[in-house]
Amino acid sequence: MTTTLLWVGVASLVGGVGHVILAKGMKVVGAAAAGSPVARTLSNPWVILGVALQATFFFIYMALLSREDVSKVLPLTTLNYIIVAVLAQLLLAEPVTALRWTGIGFIVLGVFLVGRT
């Protein structure tokens, strides 16, 4: 179980970073006015890195599912919520309000309760 928790942590970190990097890339793509939106998206290094990190998350997640029950693994990946909120605040200057942190806290609490069963 310790190995599983370690890999869930790695997957959550990679997935969370991937979400934020992808958002950063798409903000740049969306702000660009000239050229094809598809070409801008596929050539943006932030988007490419974000997709690569999301793919890495997916492959780690598949490996985890080969070892553990999905009802155990999926709730553990909610660490993503914390990682994304912190990184979005730091790297994207997104406001993360106290109400949003409270909601994330409730999600984490719910996952803790599910994990105890």
Residue-wise pLDDT for 29-58, tens only, equals 876 666 677 788 888 999 999 999 999 999
Average pLDDT, the chain: 89
- Extract the tokens encoding 9: 């942590």
Percent share of the chain, pLDDT over 70:
94
CA 92 to chain centre: 14
Per-residue pLDDT, 2: 78
Q: Where are the alpha helices (DSSP H) in the chain?
A: 2-31, 37-43, 45-65, 70-76, 79-91, 98-115
Alpha-carbon 18 to chain mean position = 6
pLDDT mean over 78-95: 93
pLDDT, average across residues 7-27: 94
For the chain, what percent of residues have pLDDT higher than 90?
60
Question: What are the two backbone dihedrals, phi and then psi, of residue 92, each rounded to the nearest 5 degrees?
Answer: -110, 0
With residue 20 as reference, give the H or E element that holds it: helix 2-31
